[in-house]
Structure 1
Amino acid sequence: MKVYGHPLSINVQKVMWLIEELDLSIALEEVDIRHSHRDAQAIAERCPMQQTPVLEDGPNSVWESHTILRYLVACYGNKMWYPDCAFQRSCYERWMDWCLSSFQPVIKRALFSSASDHPHAMSSQAMSSQAMSSQAMSSRDMPSREKALEQCRYHLERIDEVLAEQKYLASDRITLADIAIGSLIHSLHNEASLTLPPNISRWYQQLADLPGYQRWIMQAESTLPA
């Protein structure tokens, strides 16, 4: 098995972190579909959307990061990661869906909107999320950025309320909810315009103690929005 993607992509980081938590031997095949025609062709053969990450498991190609997360725990996880009860699975799956539909797009607007206005510049050099959010914003970006930051604060308050009642997002054990959303929290932790609420700070420190989180999330030189 292998994963195709770039280590600076937040969606690739999620997948690689989970792989380490599951103690699987799956290598990351680094590709740069923005600059390499050969890499772009290789991904197009495996994903009709021509996006990464893509998991190659024998003859099967699985794409979309959260689908890959679900596939990995269904095939290779224990009952902690993939419980038999459909309702128990829904407890983390709802967070995963909310992350993609609501939380991650807001973070992208708050931290990466200047880079997304200039996609060629973003792909030509690695920029830290803090630098992008605090230095690269032009004056015309600020109103939309401030609105996105306010939405981030609102979402963080809701997450903090949940974490006041339990150790992790979906239960008292780590689940895919923590993989999906926890992958994003490091960038917010480094954002000068935001302060993580106390329960999220405690949760973040729990994640920061995990070797997989340190390797794939915290030690990345920078993070791109997708």
Structure 2
Amino acid sequence: MLKIWGRANSINVQKVLWCAEELGLPYQRIDAGMEYGVVNTAEYRKLNPNGLVPTLEDGNLVLWESNAIVRYLAARYGAGSLWPTDPAVRADSDKWMDWQVSTLWTRLRPVFWGLIRTPPEKRNAQEIETAYQKTREAFAILDQALAGRQYVAGDAFTMGDIALGVAAQRWFNLPVERPAAPNLEAWYQRLRERPAFSKIVDHPLT
């Protein structure tokens, strides 16, 4: 059985849990991070020297970095579905996973943390506004890319949708104005119809 370390409301932990649910994999989740502590213990640091979540244990394999874990699970347990067999389709899906980490989340994170996890009196309004404008631009890119597509790599749901979907859930639940984005909105509704997304991701922001 897989062992997944990390709190359930972590965006990166949710990627891994959602992936495992989509693949029907049995797993044990162990609370770690923020209010749960654990990540600074000697035991945990042997698994993940960064002291972050998630960390995956699959037999003798110990793996950290959420997108790397999703890729591993998709490749080992979801070849032909979450892990496309066509190298071009797989690369397209993989591209969006990298973009989620390098571009989208770096812009969205200050908005999310500022509005959800920071008390009003401690918020940096200018930082939030700047990040918000950049986040709008990023989601406009995704909206354009989804034109004529059901999912980010084509007609089938893949690992790339998992990485982007957890970020989109934050965006669509933040108390901010969102410009019309018909392709993005339709894609997000398709994600919401997936039982695994509903179970793991689609919850109030905390």
Query: TM-score, normalization: structure 2?
Result: 0.90
Query: How has the CA–CA distance of structure 1 residues 168 and 35 changed in structure 2, closer, same or farther, with 3 Å as cutoff?
Result: closer
| Conservation of the 8 A alpha-carbon contact between 1:17 and 1:179 | yes
Alignment of 1:222 onto 2:205: yes
Aligned to 2:70: 69
Out of 193, 206, 209, the residue aligned to residue 193 of structure 2 is 209
Query: How has the CA–CA distance of structure 1 residues 110 and 19 changed in structure 2, closer, same or farther, with 3 Å as cutoff?
Result: same
Query: How has the CA–CA distance of structure 1 residues 72 and 158 changed in structure 2, closer, same or farther, with 3 Å as cutoff?
Result: same
Separation in 2 of the partners of 1:37 and 1:18? 24
| Conservation of the 8 A alpha-carbon contact between 1:163 and 1:169 | yes
| Deviation by residue 1:121-156 (Cα, 9 ceiling, x = unmatched) | xxxxxxxx3xx48x62646x1112111111111111
% identity of equivalent residues: 29
Query: How has the CA–CA distance of structure 1 residues 138 and 39 changed in structure 2, closer, same or farther, with 3 Å as cutoff?
Result: closer
1:145 is paired with a residue of what secondary structure?
A: helix
Query: How has the CA–CA distance of structure 1 residues 91 and 143 changed in structure 2, closer, same or farther, with 3 Å as cutoff?
Result: same
1:7 is paired with a residue of what secondary structure?
A: coil
Query: How has the CA–CA distance of structure 1 residues 186 and 33 changed in structure 2, closer, same or farther, with 3 Å as cutoff?
Result: closer
Separation in 1 of the partners of 2:31 and 2:50? 18
| Deviation by residue 1:201-225 (Cα, 9 ceiling, x = unmatched) | 1111111111111111113x534xx
Report 1:21-36 matches (<5 A).
21-32=22-33, 35-36=36-37
2:120 is paired with a residue of what secondary structure?
A: coil
Query: How has the CA–CA distance of structure 1 residues 168 and 27 changed in structure 2, closer, same or farther, with 3 Å as cutoff?
Result: same
Cα distance, 1:84 vs. partner? 3.4
Cα distance, 1:35 vs. partner? 5.0
Cα distance, 1:83 vs. partner? 2.9
Alignment of 1:56 onto 2:40: no
Aligned length: 204
| Conservation of the 8 A alpha-carbon contact between 1:17 and 1:212 | yes
Alignment of 1:158 onto 2:158: no
Alignment of 1:169 onto 2:152: yes
2:131 is paired with a residue of what secondary structure?
A: helix
Aligned to 2:111: 110
- Counterpart residue type for residue 198 of structure 1: P
Gaps of 5+ in 1: 115-128
Query: How has the CA–CA distance of structure 1 residues 50 and 138 changed in structure 2, closer, same or farther, with 3 Å as cutoff?
Result: closer
- Counterpart residue type for residue 170 of structure 1: A
Aligned to 1:192: 175
| Deviation by residue 1:141-178 (Cα, 9 ceiling, x = unmatched) | 11121111111111111111111221111111111111
| Conservation of the 8 A alpha-carbon contact between 1:22 and 1:76 | yes
| Conservation of the 8 A alpha-carbon contact between 2:33 and 2:39 | no
Query: How has the CA–CA distance of structure 1 residues 99 and 78 changed in structure 2, closer, same or farther, with 3 Å as cutoff?
Result: same
- Counterpart residue type for residue 194 of structure 1: E
Out of 118, 142, 151, the residue aligned to residue 125 of structure 2 is 142
Separation in 1 of the partners of 2:18 and 2:38? 28
In the TM superposition, structure 1's runs of 4+ consecutive aligned residues that sit over 4 Å from their partners are none
2:56 is paired with a residue of what secondary structure?
A: strand
| Conservation of the 8 A alpha-carbon contact between 1:18 and 1:179 | yes
Query: TM-score, normalization: structure 1?
Result: 0.82
